[in-house]
Chain A
Amino acid sequence: MEQPRPAALTARRAGLVACTRCTRVQAPAARCERCNAPLASRAALGLQRVWAWMMAGIILYIPANTLPMLRTSTLGSAEESTIVGGIIDLVLYGSYFVAIVVFVASVLIPVLKFVAIGYLALSLKHRVPISAHQRLQLYEVVEFIGRWSMIDVFVVAILSALVQLGFVASVNPGPAAACFALSVVFTMLAAQSFDPRLIWDAIEEDQ
Chain B
Amino acid sequence: MARCQRCHTPLIFPRGQAVARVVALSLTILILMIAAVFFPFLTLEAGGFRNSATLIDAATAFDEGWLIPLSGLVAAFILILPAIRTGALLYALMPLLAARPPARYAAMAMRIANRIRPWAMAEIFVVGMVVALVKIVELASVTPGPAFWAFCGLVAITVLKDTYMCRWSIWNSLAPPR
Contact = CB atoms under 8 A, between A and B. Distances in A.
A45 interface: no
B177 A24 contact: yes
> DSSP majority for the B interface?
helix
Contact of B118 (A147, A152, A162, A178): A147
Given A21-B114, A98-B134, A155 B128 contact: yes
Contact of B132 (A147, A162, A192): A162
Given A133-B7, A151-B131, A165 B61 contact: no
Contacts of B62: 157, 160, 173, 177-178
B118 A192 contact: yes
Contacts of B6: 5, 8, 133, 200
Contact of B107 (A35, A151, A168, A188): A35
A202 B61 CA distance: 47
Given A35-B171, A95-B134, A98-B134, A153 B7 contact: no
Contacts of A155: 128, 131-132, 135
B84 to A, nearest CB: 16
Nearest to B105: A36
B121 interface: yes
Nearest to A172: B64
Contacts of B47: 165, 168
Contacts of B31: none
Range of interface residues on A (Cβ < 8 Å): 35 or more
B125 interface: yes
Nearest to A166: B49
Range of interface residues on B (Cβ < 8 Å): 35 or more
B53 A34 contact: no
A98 B44 contact: no
A156 B61 contact: yes
Q: Which of A37, A143, A152, A163 has the most CB of B within 10 A?
A: A163
Interface string B47-67: 101110100011111101011
B131 A173 contact: no
Nearest to B42: A162
B59 A157 contact: yes
Interface stretch (B19-27, B70-78, B93-101, B152-160): B70-78
Q: Which of A155, A173, A178, A181 has the most CB of B within 10 A?
A: A155
A78 interface: no
Interface of A: 5-6, 8, 21-24, 34-37, 90, 93, 95, 98, 101-102, 105, 133, 136, 143, 147-148, 150-166, 168-169, 172-173, 175, 177-178, 181, 185, 188, 192, 200
15 contacts: A6-B5, A36-B108, A36-B111, A90-B134, A93-B138, A151-B127, A151-B131, A152-B131, A158-B132, A163-B51, A163-B140, A165-B50, A175-B67, A178-B69, A181-B70
Interface of B: 5-7, 42, 44, 46-47, 49-51, 53, 57-62, 64, 66-67, 69-70, 73-74, 77-78, 107-108, 110-111, 114-115, 118-119, 121, 124-125, 127-132, 134-136, 138-140, 142, 167-168, 171, 174-175, 177
